[in-house]
């Protein structure tokens, strides 16, 4: 069995996460038992939710245990199998974590899934045709419930979730406006992802200034908002929401370092009779097949072609992760292992 390089959570961050919170180790991969599968990972997924797992404070999911491999999505190839449904060479997606190999108990529901790479690249199953894409689909379809002609807004617009959200909303006849950080990301959002407009939030000092830019980009107001960021961005959007607007709350990356995120205009939720709903996509597995079918079609037909930022090698994971939290990635952040 191969030697496996792994990244563990060594200690919890106090304030911003640091590379020193992690530890790179090597271990012997254990021999397989019956109905287990050995997977060699080709790509690791780096996602904002992982920062919240590093904290010990109460959240929607259990904290990442110290001294264990960091949680995370993976795609790879089966190299050995003692399970009848998997054979060497199968391309698979799972939650193998920050390591080069994983041993999977393949009888556990949902832990490992074979995928077809004929028309969809393997890496896309960690982005547009994976958890981020389904996250966008659920927030849009099940919470916002868009109608043709309505205006949709999404923060972190050029990331894996935001890019999928744009394609899905455009397919439903909506006007789609993004909020992103930097002129290059905004240009990419409009020219390649199909957004009708994109606002660079870094140009604005406060919520009122950002809300004025939103008024220009959304002259008919905002009917649906997909929240990934929180803080000033949420305040600015609330000012522009239409009556009976819907907000799907997926992430609050502005507060992942532990700083409080005050909400300055909560009365607008009542005044405009807004629906504000948080969700965790892993709690809605029943809709995944429907969502993945639509997302896969969008990618296979070229209607959704998001960028990927790819770091190389297991040792690059901590710095790539910290860069993603600071918005240094362009599109979905991945790490290529083999």
Can you tell me whether residue 289 is helix, strand or coil?
helix
pLDDT at 253: 84
Phi-psi region of 51 (alpha: psi -120 to 50; beta: other; left: phi over 0): alpha
pLDDT of res. 226: 98
Return the bridge partners of 332, or none: 308
What residue segments make up the domains of the chain, in order of their start?
A: 3-127+306-336, 131-282
pLDDT value of position 135: 97
Reduce the DSSP state of residue 257 to 3 states and report it.
coil
The angle formed by the CA atoms of residues 85, 129 and 310, to the nearest 5 degrees, is 105
pLDDT of residue 292: 96
User: Domain 3-127+306-336 falls in which CATH fold?
Assistant: Quinone Oxidoreductase; Chain A, domain 1 (3.90.180)
Spatial neighbors of 209 by CB under 8 A, at least 6 apart, are none
In degrees and rounded to multiples of 5, residue 185 shows phi and psi of -65, -40
Q: Give the model confidence (pLDDT) of 39-48 as tens digits.
A: 999 999 999 8
Residue 229 to residue 210: CA distance in whole angstroms: 14
- Residue 254: per-residue pLDDT: 82
Residue ranges of E strands in the chain = 3-9, 22-28, 36-45, 74-81, 91-94, 101-105, 112-114, 151-155, 175-180, 197-200, 222-227, 241-249, 275-278, 308-312, 332-336
The rounded distance, in Å, linking the Cα atoms of 11 and 17 is 10
95 secondary structure, DSSP code = -
Specify the CATH superfamily of domain 131-282: NAD(P)-binding Rossmann-like Domain (3.40.50.720)
- How high is the pLDDT of residue 126? 97
Q: How far is CA 95 from the centre of its chain?
A: 14
What are the residue ranges in the chain where pLDDT is below 50? none
- pLDDT of 110 reads 83
Q: Do domains 3-127+306-336 and 131-282 have the same CATH topology?
A: no
pLDDT of residue 305: 87
User: DSSP letter string over 162-216?
Assistant: HHHHHHHHHHTT-EEEEEESSHHHHHHHHHTS--SEEEEGGG-SSHHHHHHHHHH
């Amino acid at each position: 069995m191969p030697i496996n390089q792994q990244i563990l959570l060594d200690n919890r961050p106090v304030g911003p996460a640091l590379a020193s919170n992690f530890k790179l180790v090597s271990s012997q991969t254990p021999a397989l038992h019956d109905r287990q599968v050995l997977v060699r990972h080709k790509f690791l997924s780096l996602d904002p939710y992982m920062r919240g797992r590093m904290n010990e404070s109460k959240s929607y999911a259990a904290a990442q245990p110290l001294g264990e491999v960091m949680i995370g999505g993976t795609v790879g190839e089966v190299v050995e199998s003692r399970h009848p449904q998997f054979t060497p060479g199968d391309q698979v997606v799972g939650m193998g974590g920050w390591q080069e190999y994983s041993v999977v108990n393949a009888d556990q529901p949902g832990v490992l899934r074979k995928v077809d790479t004929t028309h969809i690249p393997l890496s896309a199953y960690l982005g547009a045709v994976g958890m981020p894409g389904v996250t966008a689909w659920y927030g849009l379809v099940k919470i916002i419930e868009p109608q043709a002609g309505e205006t949709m807004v999404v923060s972190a617009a050029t990331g894996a979730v935001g890019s999928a959200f744009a394609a899905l909303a455009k397919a439903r006849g909506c006007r789609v406006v993004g909020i992103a950080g930097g002129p290059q990301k905004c240009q990419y959002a409009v020219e390649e992802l199909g957004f009708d407009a994109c606002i660079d939030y870094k140009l604005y000092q406060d919520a009122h200034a950002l809300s004025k830019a939103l008024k220009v980009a959304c002259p008919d107001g905002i009917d649906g908002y997909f929240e990934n960021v929180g803080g000033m961005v949420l305040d600015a959007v609330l000012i522009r929401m239409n009556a009976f607007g819907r907000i799907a709350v997926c992430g609050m990356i502005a507060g992942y370092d532990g700083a409080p995120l005050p909400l300055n205009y909560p009365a607008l939720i009542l005044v405009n009779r807004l629906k504000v709903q948080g969700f965790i996509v892993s709690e809605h597995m029943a809709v995944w097949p429907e969502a993945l079918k639509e997302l896969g079609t969008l990618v296979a037909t070229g209607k959704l072609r998001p960028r990927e930022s790819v770091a190389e090698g297991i040792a690059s994971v901590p710095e790539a992760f910290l860069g993603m939290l600071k918005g240094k990635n362009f599109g979905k952040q991945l790490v290529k292992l083999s």
